[in-house]
Amino acid sequence: MKEISGGVVAAKGFQAAGIRVGVKASALPMEEQTGEGKKDLCMVLSDSCCSVAGMFTTNQVKAAPVHLTREHIAFGYGYGVIANSGNANACAPNSRLHALEMCRAAAEATGHQPEEFAVCSTGVIGQELNVKAILEGTPRLVAALHADECASDEAARAIMTTDTVKKEIAVETMVGGKRIAVGGIAKGSGMIHPNMGTMLSFVTTDCAVSPAMLDRMVHEIVPRTFNRVTVDGDTSTNDTFLVFANGQGGNETICQPGEDYESLKEALMYVCTQLARKMAADGEGASRLITCLVEGAESEKKAETLSRSVVGSSLVKAAMFGADANWGRVLCAMGYSGASFDPETVDVTFRSQAGEVAVCRMGSALNFDEEMAKKILSQQEVVIHVLLREGSQSAACWGCDLTYEYVKINGDYRS
């Protein structure tokens, strides 16, 4: 398996596009006319029918596009997705009608059926969607579809909200003796907390796989990738992860677990892990990515629980912002995680590109070089390594530091 270019259009038979239609009411007329400014409407489309699987927010308050997409992919088939940024179409007037209208517009412009499209929205909650701009812009969006490398870039940027960087990746691997590709895009910066977060992620592959096997893979992958990201403790109303597999890679269709199943799952796992890490690194106002790796646990579930508690701790996140080697906050976060462990067997080490420093052994403080620790914690990615000494299982979760900018961004998000 190796990384390749192309993102969400790296796989055969997929096209994408992203344009600006002026979803937000604050859009300037000139921007609407010229197409300048932030893109806010995208489509990913296959030229043949796909197996489709997805997972969605666990929030009891779910946006209309989430409900409708779940209905549309219930039988496991479809052609693509239409998505907008600038408005979540959640808890808003006419939200289901507007989601349906987006699917109908996509279907009419492409010659498919409305139920063959997924629909996603992201942005502010509780305000009626400017669906008129979307419906008028959809024919232009479809006309802009293409499979060049920049297509993925356009689509990725069109679903960004407070994201500061696009998030895309693609890999190539062998399945059943055929070379297949898996690529994806994602958005997510704030309201990120297991399970999933205010994230949208669309992944495509030209591998042939049945809807049932694809759904099984998705349910194995998401708990170990997107559900291990936390930025701020808030779970959104719109989280959606979708995988489209059109089978144009030419492999024999994967209809049961086995070597081919594991090969595709490995590629999907890699793509989703990298997208999850990109979201954590781009947390609202973040200056560094935090990875907590817990090893030596008696179960993977316990390791995940402890790791998630550490990266989700506001005090740990604040210490990381200040490059302060306050390892006591790590143990404290582990202690209220709900997972049982013996604190007197725990080691804690901080690592980064600048080196590593052991700060705790067997639950007690170690003498360490504070200046070296500060240098290590000042890098763009910091790893908090925790050793438990009770078993052989491990898990890593991802988060980011907590900065002044996070409060500034969310203090006036609606404006």
Per-residue pLDDT of 264-301, as tens digits, reads 999 999 999 999 989 887 766 678 899 999 999 999 99
User: For residue 362, what is the domain's CATH number?
Assistant: 3.10.20.340
Give one DSSP letter per residue of 102-140, joined into a string: HHHHHHHHHTS-GGGEEEEEES-SSS---HHHHHHHHHH
199: which 2 tokens? 């994230």
Tell me the per-residue pLDDT of 204-243, one tens digit each, with 9 for 90 and over.
999 999 999 999 999 999 999 988 887 655 556 778 999 9
Residues 118 and 136 in one domain: yes
Distance CA 328, CA 350 (A): 13
On whether both 250 and 336 belong to a single domain, the answer is no
Structure tokens at 91: 């808890």
Instruction: Give CA torsion, residues 348, 349, 350, 351, to 10 deg.
Output: -140
**Percent of the chain predicted with pLDDT > 70:** 90
Judge whether residue 31 has pLDDT over 50. no
The set of catalytic residues is: 198
CA distance 295 to 292: 10
User: Quick one: tokens of 41?
Assistant: 């409407």
Domain match, 309 and 397 both: yes
Amino acid, single-letter form, for residue 330: V
* Same domain? 257 vs 297: no
CA gap 212, 221 in Å, rounded: 14
My answer on whether 134 and 19 are in the same domain is yes
| Stated pTM of the model | 0.86
The per-residue pLDDT of the chain, averaged, comes to 91
pLDDT of residue 400: 86
| Final residue of a structural domain among 256, 281, 306 | 281
Other beta carbons within 10 angstroms of residue 150's beta carbon come to 14
Same domain, 388 and 247: no
Residues 139 and 182 in one domain: yes
Whether 181 and 249 map to the same domain: the answer is yes
Number of domains observed in the structure of the chain: 2
Note down the domain range covering 306: 289-411
Does one domain contain both 184 and 293? no
Among 281, 314, 336, the domain-final residue is: 281
The last residue of a domain, from among 243, 258, 281 = 281
Which CATH number characterizes residue 6's domain? 3.60.70.12
Are 147 and 275 within one domain? yes
Same domain, 161 and 193: yes
Select from 303, 326, 327, 314 the least CA-distant residue to 403.
Answer: 314
For residue range 151-168, what is the model confidence (pLDDT) as tens digits?
999 999 999 987 888 999
In sequence order, which residues have a C-beta less than 8 Å from that of residue 158 and are 6 or more positions away?
Answer: 18, 19, 20, 39, 40, 41, 42, 83, 84, 85
